[in-house]
Structure 1
């Protein structure tokens, strides 16, 4: 909450106070008392239009930073106690994040069901036949739906759920068409089955985006249940008709549920105001492109099952990753209210960052080993592959953290450069991922150790 008054005008009646700085300190007492660093005070002074000339003439200080330091020294720190989270908050948030991780990973079973249906003779670029249109359609969907999700979430943040639904109603089908068109355009002769599957994949991604943005994770989980038929397919051969039926049932359920929740967006005039600028969503799409390509590279292993285990682990880990992002943010806010110096805050936030990142990498490692052991006949990943996977996980988690604090363009740029370098030189995977992780770690520390980064 801001100060009761944020103005430097002289008091009404009478002349100036004996010391104008004392008067300003009284007026800004509520804000200055909870500031962790003088920079927070300088920012509010500048936002109120105080120029350096005004500060020199009125308060005898050189600039806003000098004035802020004096105010910071004059007012005693009075940080309110952090409010206790609601009962069971961490448990409910963890359950929700784990549910999201599950619905992120379950679609991978569709590839197990579809594998015999997509068999072809010749592949390209050293990949199995049909891989190129599948990857092209998937990456297109990731880019489009990341940007679309940001725009819809922005509408939700403005309190206009109908406008968010309207944006999804227009954007989701357009994304499905774009993914289908790219898959068909990149399909070679003999890869038509893969292109058809990629079209279904694009349609599913559009429907899943709608359900996830509008908070219908449980409904999406129900739509994905037919895909669990892939579990027996890991050991036994299933009839092609049954495989196709399970895939179509899950796709149809996802699309039907998405259409159902989009009814508010179909109402006339639901779009409301002109809305946030579309260009603001572009960096989120670029981040989806970079991170998606990195995940695909993690799935390119010496054997199919090793690569599949890495991708399964990364997708399942997104649930715990989201929860740990919440933990970091809440932990930083609690320390912002209780600590009295910027040095204490920097140390505390750095420690919280290390613990949360370490927790995520521990979960990712455990999921990787579990996925490998659960896959029949899968060899354990080598140490270099594990190191590369953990570095990619570091890039993804730190990128998501920067995105949550508004530094999405920086995160997207680093991910895109890393993805491009790894595409050009696949053998340089550990070096590329390590460099990207180091850059993102430096950016994170530079941004998030500042108290002002955590002020709402």
Structure 2
């Protein structure tokens, strides 16, 4: 909550208040009715005058009474100083009015003068920070189910040996996927910003324009990256781009169940693990899932098609760019986990990472909710730092435990999948740490730092695949330090 909500400027400009001073009394009249001579400017007033003069009110008392409700729940004077500065109080104003050197000295006096009155913890409200585990698991499931499309399409995409030592058709598939991740991450941020402003129609309008543009961009990049013998893979990448656009619409607008229903035809890939299905059936299942996804997305975008749905200018588009860069960095890390078989175990690692995004999202909400609860109940900044650090360690440890469990489960369920060696498992955990900490920093607005670290780690892995564990470990260490420095501050959790 911004400080202007607590200390609002007056509607009209008023001069700075003056420091009250004792009044000078008129000298008593003499016996002949004439007044006695007034003392000179350097003469001291009589003692009786000083004794009877009313004491000036301390302006700090009035300020403490005016913002006492906020001061009483602050856990550090810096919180109070931030509010004073955001309200426009300059150091000159503070010196003239309150006799303090600056906002920090004034904040310390207010912090010492007002008694701490932290309210009792309330029941968790029904907001975004108290989401249910079932909803997050559902999102993780719909993140992972599209992977079955690759199982269905594998015989259709089989061809000659591809470039860079990869199977045929891999390059256009990866190019289209990365383009879709970058575009849709930025688009999601802009749409979520509209939703945060309470304008759902404008969010739908943004998705109505941006989602088809993203699908066209992914298709164009995939076709441009395709070699002459990779046209089937490029067409599949075009369908993949259309699906990513439709899935973005449904996930942003909270239609996870509709997306799950649209992906039901992909369950036909389960028999394909044991039997060879006809090509016509494979193509039909893929087209059915794609058509259902686009249809559901079109239905939920109807409010955005209304005239004037996005009449305001909206948030700046440049603010969404760091989120696209974070999508690029994290996407390259996940792709490296799948392509670099010698490092982390190939497709099984990608499936485990994708499925873990559901529990990861729930743990992010859990951390935010627990931090806000500690902010209401703890009285000192030191206690808050210790509590938040402990919560961060527990949530990150819980996510890594889930990731290990999913990795082992995938290896059990996947026919003929090798058990991951310890170095590969450690590398997978480091990549998971980078992803979770990056998402955490993104949730607190430090998305540019998270994107820069992820991009550097991904670039290092692409340039020198053998240095992948070192790059992932360095990125995880940097993000851990950034998280500890940022999130132990009480002001980072004020909403």
TM-score bracket for the superposition, by shorter chain length: over 0.9
Partner of 2:164: 125
Give the CA deviation at 1:97: 0.4
Equivalence map 1:147-296=2 (5 Å): 147-296=186-335
How many residue pairs match? The answer is: 456
Give the CA deviation at 1:303: 7.0
Cα deviations across residues 183-221 of structure 1 (Å, max 9, x unaligned)? 000001110110000000000000000000111000000
Distance verdict in 2 for CA 1:215–1:368, change over 3 Å: same
Cα deviations across residues 86-139 of structure 1 (Å, max 9, x unaligned)? 699999610100000000000000001100110011211011110000000000
Give the alignment partner of residue 342 of structure 1, picking from 371, 374, 381.
381
Instruction: Give the SS at the match of 2:117.
Output: coil
Query: Which piece of structure 1 moves more, 322-331 or 299-308?
Result: 299-308
Q: Contact 1:6–1:28 (CA<8 Å) still a contact in 2?
A: no
Give the Cα separation in 2 of the matches to 1:371 and 1:387.
17
What TM-score results when the alignment is normalised by the length of structure 2? 0.88
Equivalence map 1:13-412=2 (5 Å): 17-85=56-124, 93-302=132-341, 306-412=345-451
Q: Contact 1:4–1:27 (CA<8 Å) still a contact in 2?
A: no
Cα deviations across residues 27-46 of structure 1 (Å, max 9, x unaligned)? 22111000011110000111
Q: Contact 1:306–1:372 (CA<8 Å) still a contact in 2?
A: no
What TM-score results when the alignment is normalised by the length of structure 1? 0.96
Distance verdict in 2 for CA 1:405–1:136, change over 3 Å: same
Give the alignment partner of residue 477 of structure 2, picking from 411, 426, 438.
438
Give the Cα separation in 1 of the matches to 2:335 and 2:73.
46
Q: Contact 1:414–1:440 (CA<8 Å) still a contact in 2?
A: yes
Give the Cα separation in 2 of the matches to 1:375 and 1:335.
43
Cα deviations across residues 214-235 of structure 1 (Å, max 9, x unaligned)? 1100000000011111111112
Whose Rg is larger?
2
Identify the structure with the greater helix proportion. 1
Instruction: Give the SS at the match of 2:146.
Output: helix
Cα deviations across residues 14-36 of structure 1 (Å, max 9, x unaligned)? 99953222222222211100001
Instruction: Give the SS at the match of 2:345.
Output: helix
Give the CA deviation at 1:67: 1.1
Give the Cα separation in 2 of the matches to 1:409 and 1:7.
33
Give the Cα separation in 1 of the matches to 2:77 and 2:17.
23
Cα deviations across residues 215-258 of structure 1 (Å, max 9, x unaligned)? 10000000001111111111221111111111111001001111
Q: Contact 1:17–1:23 (CA<8 Å) still a contact in 2?
A: no
Give the CA deviation at 1:304: 11
Give the CA deviation at 1:82: 2.2
Q: Which residues of structure 2 form unaligned runs of 5+? A: 11-15, 23-54
